[in-house]
């Protein structure tokens, strides 16, 4: 019995170390310790502990990009929770499964699991599970372009967070709602909520979060064509990112500054910012961000009539979008590539790329993108003198 007790303490220590490294963002070390903890839990027949370690390990694997393994861990945890009748754990694991499915692009399935998490957490009055599940479901509906539903669930999450006194999550929900209102075209409300998020981050001394809020506000002001304000906020965001060593935020700020300079017609400055952003994305291994930077650079090169460079950047962007299965951005890049080919007289290629954009935009149910793709294809037929088709 003493040995079993010692093994249980050992598992707890490994699990705690895993959680500590996870909080520090050192996910490889966290994974190693959590795997040791899980092994011991299985060895001593601790089903409750096994479920907990499976769920924790799944979260870490997701952070490492090992999505299939993360899904397996969360499924195993959920099966054990049901087996032992742990209703709180079951609700939590439904939420975890939703997060994993969202991360691998299965948003509809993710919504199903999150709705189960919310229903069960309501049934057992577990507000600490209900709040994060509402928040995540709001994010899932954002990804599906269902912003009214996203708003509903983010508002529910915010209400719960205020009720239970979760101040950090509350600040995050203000930012979530800022994004939703921005997506709905209600820029005044977006500024209001992003400003609330900014006040909160400043209040708790979260410099990294503060920088993110400045970046979000800049996006709204850019949409309002208030470029001087957008530039001012982005410079603040960039300053903070450098101060706290947030390379992701630094790369994002340079990319957004590039967009502002592009809107102002300063293509050389835009190119410089985008190239700096690309350098940072490569340095930190952010492949998704790298793809976005190539797409942005292509737009600048096209505006500078450097069509070969634009084409080269778009081909690199497409390779990355295909690797990550980002269908919407893949369609956008096909559209851009089609426009470049049209500009240099490669009309057959332009026709091919715009048709690919149309097919994908239909697949992802993006009507706005589909309409733009038809418009681009019309331009190609116009250049060919096929006016009826145009």
Residues 90 and 130 in one domain: no
Helix count and strand count (H, E) for the chain:
19, 0
Q: How far apart are CA 119 and CA 113, in angstroms?
A: 10
Residues 142 and 89 in one domain: no
Structural domain contains residue 99: yes
Average pLDDT over residues 220-225: 96
Structural domain contains residue 34: yes
Structural domain contains residue 265: no
4-15 confidence digits (pLDDT tens): 678 999 999 999
Going by C-beta distance under 8 Å and a sequence separation of 6 or more, which residues neighbour residue 15? 33, 34, 37, 49, 52, 53, 56
State residue 329's pLDDT score: 85
State residue 239's pLDDT score: 96
**Please, are residues 217 and 234 in contact by the beta-carbon 8 Å criterion?**
no
pLDDT interval class at 223 (50, 70, 90):
very high
Residues 96 and 132 in one domain: no
% of residues, the chain, pLDDT over 70: 99
State residue 5's pLDDT score: 78
State residue 16's pLDDT score: 95
Average pLDDT over residues 168-188: 95
Structural domain contains residue 246: no
52-77 confidence digits (pLDDT tens): 999 999 999 988 888 889 999 999 99
Please state, as a whole number, how many other Cβ atoms lie within 10 Å of the Cβ of residue 275. 16
pLDDT interval class at 93 (50, 70, 90):
very high
367-385 confidence digits (pLDDT tens): 888 899 889 889 888 888 8
pLDDT at 88 over 90: yes
Average pLDDT over residues 293-297: 94
Residues 51 and 136 in one domain: no
**Highest mean pLDDT: which of 233-242, 321-330, 350-359?**
233-242
Total of domains in the chain: 3
- b/e burial code for range 132-160 (CB count within 10 A of at least 16 → b): bbbbbbbbbbbeeebbebbbbbbbbbbeb
Average pLDDT over residues 223-237: 96
Residues 383 and 335 in one domain: yes
Whole-number average pLDDT of the chain = 92
Which of 95-99, 242-246, 330-334 has the weakest average pLDDT? 330-334
Structural domain contains residue 116: no
Residues 183 and 89 in one domain: no
Q: How far apart are CA 70 and CA 58, in angstroms?
A: 4
Q: Which of 155, 176, 194 is the endpoint of a domain?
A: 194
116-140 confidence digits (pLDDT tens): 999 999 999 999 999 999 999 999 9
Structural domain contains residue 292: no
Average pLDDT over residues 73-96: 95
% of residues, the chain, pLDDT over 90: 72
State residue 368's pLDDT score: 86
Token pair listed for 61 = 């694997």
State residue 350's pLDDT score: 87
pLDDT at 1 over 60: no
> Residue 124 carries which DSSP code?
T
CATH of the domain at 143: 1.25.40.10
Q: How far apart are CA 297 and CA 336, in angstroms?
A: 11
Structural domain contains residue 351: yes
Residues 7 and 83 in one domain: yes
pLDDT interval class at 245 (50, 70, 90):
very high
Residue recorded with tokens 């293509």: 267
Structural domain contains residue 11: yes
Q: Which of 103, 136, 170 is the endpoint of a domain?
A: 103
Instruction: Provide the CA 128 distance to its chain's centre, in angstroms.
Output: 23
Q: How far apart are CA 282 and CA 251, in angstroms?
A: 10
Token pair listed for 161 = 């967070």
Average pLDDT over residues 309-322: 91
Residues 303 and 371 in one domain: yes
Q: The domain containing residue 132 runs over which residues?
A: 125-194
Residues 96 and 136 in one domain: no
- Residue 349: name the closest of 339, 363, 364, 362 by CA: 339
Please state, as a whole number, how many other Cβ atoms lie within 10 Å of the Cβ of residue 274. 28
Q: Which of 73, 103, 133 is the endpoint of a domain?
A: 103
97-118 confidence digits (pLDDT tens): 999 998 887 889 999 999 999 9
pTM equals 0.77
């Amino acid at each position: 019995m003493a040995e079993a007790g010692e093994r249980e303490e050992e598992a707890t220590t490994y699990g705690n170390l895993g959680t500590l490294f996870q909080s520090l963002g050192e996910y490889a070390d966290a994974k190693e310790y959590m795997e040791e903890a899980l092994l011991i839990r299985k060895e001593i027949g601790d089903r409750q502990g096994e479920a907990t370690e499976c769920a924790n390990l799944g979260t870490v694997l997701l952070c490492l990009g090992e999505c299939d393994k993360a899904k397996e861990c969360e499924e195993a945890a959920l099966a054990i929770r049901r087996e032992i009748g742990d209703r709180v754990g079951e609700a939590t694991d439904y939420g975890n499964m939703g997060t994993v499915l969202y991360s691998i692009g299965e948003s509809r399935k993710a919504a199903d699991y999150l709705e189960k998490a919310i229903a069960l957490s309501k049934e057992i009055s577990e507000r600490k599970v209900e709040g994060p599940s509402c928040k995540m479901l709001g994010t899932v509906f954002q990804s599906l372009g269902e912003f009214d539903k996203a708003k509903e669930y983010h508002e529910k999450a915010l209400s719960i967070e205020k009720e239970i006194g979760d101040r950090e999550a509350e600040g995050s929900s203000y930012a979530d709602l800022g994004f939703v209102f921005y997506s709905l075209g209600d820029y005044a409300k977006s500024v209001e909520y992003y400003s609330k998020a900014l006040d909160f981050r400043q209040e708790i001394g979260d410099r990294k979060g503060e920088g993110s809020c400045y970046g979000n506000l800049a996006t709204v002001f850019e949409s309002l064509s208030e470029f001087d304000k957008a530039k001012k906020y982005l410079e603040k965001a960039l300053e903070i990112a450098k101060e706290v060593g947030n390379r992701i935020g630094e790369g994002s700020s340079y990319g957004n500054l590039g967009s502002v300079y592009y809107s102002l017609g300063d293509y050389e400055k835009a190119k410089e910012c985008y190239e700096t952003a690309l350098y940072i994305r490569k340095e930190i291994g952010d492949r998704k961000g790298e793809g976005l930077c190539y797409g942005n650079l292509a737009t600048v090169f096209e505006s500078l009539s450097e069509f070969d460079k634009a084409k080269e950047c778009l081909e690199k962007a497409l390779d990355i979008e295909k690797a990550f299965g980002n269908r919407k951005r893949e369609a956008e890049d096909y559209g851009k590539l089609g426009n470049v080919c049209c500009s240099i007289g490669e009309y057959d290629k332009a026709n091919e790329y715009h048709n690919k954009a149309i097919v994908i935009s239909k697949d992802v149910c993006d009507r706005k993108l589909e309409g733009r793709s038809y418009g681009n294809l019309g331009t190609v037929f116009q250049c060919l003198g096929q006016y009826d088709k145009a």
